[in-house]
Structure 1
Amino acid sequence: MRPVLRRAASSGSVKGQPVKLGGESTFGQTLFNSIAILLGIGMLSEPLAFAQAGWVMGTILIIAYGFISCHTAKLLARIIADDPRLRTYTDIGRKAFGPRATFPISLIFCLELFSVSVILVTLYADSLHSIIPHYSADTYKLWGILILIPTVFLPLSLLSFTSVLGIVSTLLMIVVILIDGISKKEHPGSLWDPMPTSLGWNKAGGLGLSFGLFMAGFSGHAVIPSLARDMQDPTQFDSMINWAFVVATAIYVLIGWVGYLMFGNDVSEEVSLDLLRTPGFNPALNKACLWLLVISPLSKFALATQPLNATISIFLGIDELPQTHDEIAKRLTQHGKLFSRKRFFTSLQKIVMVLLAVGVSIGVPDFGALMAFMGSFAAFLICVIGPIGAHVSINRKCTVLDGTAFVIAVVMAVWGTATAFMAAEE
């Protein structure tokens, strides 16, 4: 059996001198980046997902989604390792399905990542507005531009430090929820006196809605090619991504179970809203939880938009895709010596994307509608259907696992998307 990631894809030569084509991020930095992407805003909706699917099906779905998403992340990394010219998710799609697939793949990919960036802006501003209601959420979104623009210019190796901040914020938020649940003795909001829950789902529509809510938590595959390419030692990718998905899945299960016990079938679309509305909790802790919901989205924004910016740069011709092994090595030896014109347009594009994300967040402030679209449609397509389809197309073979996962993912994507849109219209 051939190795998953080969060293041959990580080295080259210029004028007879060996040149390393690996990236700058260590195992630990890439792990932090991966966990930070996976532990996203989808965590807040996990209790609602359990309320829609019930204990049994909810637990099965979240563990199954974690397993298959980890598997498809490895498929993307294998494709990246086998061809050093590939840098983004769109590059993989072009190789697998041909030049004609470039536009639709780029459109879906960019739409999913842009939705994530809009949701992050919305969550940050809504949380800050709840803490300091003197100014509107839209005002905080505009002020956020001053923070977001500088972060999009940081390299992935430095963004790992902001990832640590995001992970710490997420873990502290979980601690606050646990303390609230343990400290309160009577429902609602108590782990000692749980609210009514269900073993199974109550209606097919609710089960369909849970598909997107659960899958939204694992929608980080658009960033996987960038992370895999930026690792110093790509042969460690499989081990790194296994740890990332184990940690993320365990945390999602924990927060889903705890939130469902505390608020039962009446849990809100964001469990943090229930913490604010329910009397009897420590107000200082709940305010701290909201501050964490301000910090975490700000720390994730640049990492989430990095592959979006890379794809748009190539699509617009700002950054050309290297065609040969030697050309890649040459570019690496000239790192930091970019032409001023290219640097100007690249910088302008990043700034424009921040402004667009903030603008759309102001125009479409519905957190639930954005999350439903991202989870039910984009996440299934990008995290399961796309990677498996590309792997099968390139390697001309399909395993039983890949074929089964592909068919089930298509059914769940259609079912979940239709349910999400019907729920949004109610």
Structure 2
Amino acid sequence: MRSSKSIRPSCNGQSTFGQTLFNSTAMLVGLGMLSEPLAFAYAGWIVGTFLIFSYAFVACYTAKILARLILADPRIRSYSDIGRKAFGSRATPMISFLFCLELFSVSVVLVTLFGDSLHSLMPQYSSNFYKAWGTILLIPMVFLPLSLLSYTSILGILSTITLVIVIFIDGLSKKEGPGSLFSPQPTNLSTQGVVPLGVAFGLFMAGFSGHAVIPSLARDMADPSQFDTMVNWSFIIATCIYTIIGYVGYLMFGNNVSDEVSIDLLATPGYNSSLNTLCLWLLVVTPFSKFGLNNQPLNATIEILIGLDSPITSPEHLAEEPDRLSGTIPKYSTLLHRKRLLSVLQRIVVTSLSVTASISIPNFSSMMAFLGSFSAFTICIIGPILAKVLIEGNCSRFDIVVLFVGSIMVIWGTIAAFI
């Protein structure tokens, strides 16, 4: 397989290796980690361990495929552009729909995590109340450039590391269950059944569903030749964190673990309440560190589809336009300002719709299972391999096996999520 190291794009971005690594890791870690113990409860120790490492390997493989395809053609700006090149213009609406559905689902999950975490900390108000007011704080995040979002991503990674440390401290500080590593709760070696296993497919896969952002990350990297190395480290970090949280959380709370393990930490007596409260507050920050990064490719795709494809990434960009164009082509200038205004409005509307959907579908594990089973498998596994086969004309035996097994898991997991 050719590496993206051989690609020399005509135009590089501004983000360094470290900034891109922070963005990539923050995109992977933080979304699915809270439901990892529940995924192990559904799949059991043996199948769960196999699934999490298998998904990580395959997802990393397909991320490199996307980066190679993107960097090989300077005309490609988004995931939808890859689909258009591979499947033709007729497939563009469907590809764009699936792409937007995954990113929108991620946004809904982020809003749900934000509301549930605040409700656990301050139960006097409902989760929906915090979601509604959170809209005011989330809207500015969709106008920040990737270079600035890398710093907010550090906060998301910090909250993740803190959660891992707190889980260990809680588990070791308590001698009796539930919630103790010295007195593990009942667990299973094998899966609990056909439907729970299908849900586990989605819960495990949802943690590795950051491929929709790959075009933005690859294009914005100052040295794209380092992308493969960056994404390797990103997936190694994410897989280690997911496995640790899944193992420890499952041991501590067993088959009765909640949709979000953070809720169990705050609700179980016998822990250091101040430490767990600090952990929950950091988890409140996580959606803010990821919301803007996740919504950037979503908004870019929507703007292209509706004809508002003049790029805006920050409020400062709204004032940037060569005087030459505005002075010599007044009509063009008026049209450009109108598009910019509509682009701002579009981003606000999409953010508001994410909050509305989260209020309408408040179940965290259901959204995560659907996100992983349908959207993540289709966008992150099946799509990149099919694009590679059609564009490069190369299909290995490994690609065939992944496509076949992945298609079965899409159907199985999606049905199980609805059930």
Q: Could you state the TM-score of these two structures normalised by the residue count of structure 2?
A: 0.92
Question: Equivalent of 1:372, from 353, 369, 374?
Answer: 369
The aligned counterpart of 2:162 is 172
Distance change in 2, residues 1:202/1:363 (3 Å): closer
Per-residue Cα deviation, 1:73-132 (whole angstroms, up to 9, x for no partner): 000001001110101111111110000111111111111111111111111112112212
Distance change in 2, residues 1:27/1:366 (3 Å): same
391-400 or 237-246, which deviates more? 391-400
The aligned counterpart of 1:232 is 222
Runs of at least 5 residues in structure 1 that lack an aligned partner in the other structure: 12-20, 322-334
Once the 2 structures are TM-superposed, how far is the Cα of residue 199 of structure 1 from its aligned partner?
Answer: 1.5
Write the distance in 2 (CA, Å) between the matches of 1:36 and 1:391. Answer: 26
Once the 2 structures are TM-superposed, how far is the Cα of residue 41 of structure 1 from its aligned partner?
Answer: 2.2
Write the distance in 2 (CA, Å) between the matches of 1:320 and 1:190. Answer: 54
The aligned counterpart of 2:394 is 397
Task: Confirm or deny: 8 A CA contact 2:4 2:224 kept in the other structure.
Answer: no
Amino acid at match of 1:70: C
Task: Confirm or deny: 8 A CA contact 1:45 1:269 kept in the other structure.
Answer: yes
Distance change in 2, residues 1:37/1:3 (3 Å): closer
Find the residue that maps to 1:222 and give its secondary structure: helix
The aligned counterpart of 1:409 is 406
Write the distance in 2 (CA, Å) between the matches of 1:89 and 1:7. Answer: 18
Once the 2 structures are TM-superposed, how far is the Cα of residue 365 of structure 1 from its aligned partner?
Answer: 1.9
Total equivalences in the alignment: 399
Distance change in 2, residues 1:79/1:294 (3 Å): same
Task: Confirm or deny: 8 A CA contact 1:22 1:231 kept in the other structure.
Answer: yes
The reply to whether residue 49 of structure 1 matches residue 39 of structure 2 is yes
Find the residue that maps to 1:41 and give its secondary structure: coil
Question: Equivalent of 1:337, from 321, 328, 331?
Answer: 321
The aligned counterpart of 1:328 is none
Distance change in 2, residues 1:101/1:167 (3 Å): same
Write the distance in 2 (CA, Å) between the matches of 1:336 and 1:226. Answer: 21
Per-residue Cα deviation, 1:48-80 (whole angstroms, up to 9, x for no partner): 111111111111110010000000000000100
Per-residue Cα deviation, 1:261-310 (whole angstroms, up to 9, x for no partner): 10112212211122123221121122122212211112211011111001
The aligned counterpart of 2:294 is 304
Find the residue that maps to 2:179 and give its secondary structure: coil
Write the distance in 2 (CA, Å) between the matches of 1:194 and 1:263. Answer: 7
40-49 or 302-311, which deviates more? 40-49
The aligned counterpart of 1:4 is 4
The aligned counterpart of 2:231 is 241
Task: Confirm or deny: 8 A CA contact 2:55 2:205 kept in the other structure.
Answer: yes
Once the 2 structures are TM-superposed, how far is the Cα of residue 236 of structure 1 from its aligned partner?
Answer: 0.4
The aligned counterpart of 2:278 is 288
Per-residue Cα deviation, 1:327-350 (whole angstroms, up to 9, x for no partner): xxxxxxxx9427423322221211
Write the distance in 1 (CA, Å) between the matches of 2:320 and 2:377. Answer: 37
Find the residue that maps to 1:152 and give its secondary structure: helix
Runs of at least 5 residues in structure 2 that lack an aligned partner in the other structure: 312-318, 323-335
Write the distance in 2 (CA, Å) between the matches of 1:234 and 1:207. Answer: 38
The reply to whether residue 29 of structure 1 matches residue 19 of structure 2 is yes
Per-residue Cα deviation, 1:158-182 (whole angstroms, up to 9, x for no partner): 1000001110011111111111101
Write the distance in 2 (CA, Å) between the matches of 1:413 and 1:53. Answer: 16
Find the residue that maps to 1:252 and give its secondary structure: helix
The reply to whether residue 116 of structure 1 matches residue 106 of structure 2 is yes
Report the identity percentage. Answer: 61
Task: Confirm or deny: 8 A CA contact 2:3 2:68 kept in the other structure.
Answer: no
Question: Equivalent of 1:74, from 61, 64, 76?
Answer: 64
Question: Equivalent of 2:79, from 80, 89, 101?
Answer: 89
Once the 2 structures are TM-superposed, how far is the Cα of residue 7 of structure 1 from its aligned partner?
Answer: 4.8
Amino acid at match of 1:201: T
Write the distance in 2 (CA, Å) between the matches of 1:114 and 1:415. Answer: 22
Amino acid at match of 1:104: M
Once the 2 structures are TM-superposed, how far is the Cα of residue 6 of structure 1 from its aligned partner?
Answer: 4.0
Q: CA RMSD in A?
A: 1.6
1:344-363 alignment runs, 5 A limit:
344-363=341-360
The reply to whether residue 278 of structure 1 matches residue 290 of structure 2 is no
The aligned counterpart of 2:136 is 146
Once the 2 structures are TM-superposed, how far is the Cα of residue 368 of structure 1 from its aligned partner?
Answer: 2.4
The aligned counterpart of 1:266 is 256
The aligned counterpart of 1:203 is 193
The aligned counterpart of 2:333 is none
Task: Confirm or deny: 8 A CA contact 1:29 1:157 kept in the other structure.
Answer: yes
The aligned counterpart of 1:131 is 121
Task: Confirm or deny: 8 A CA contact 1:188 1:195 kept in the other structure.
Answer: yes
Amino acid at match of 2:384: P
The reply to whether residue 158 of structure 1 matches residue 148 of structure 2 is yes
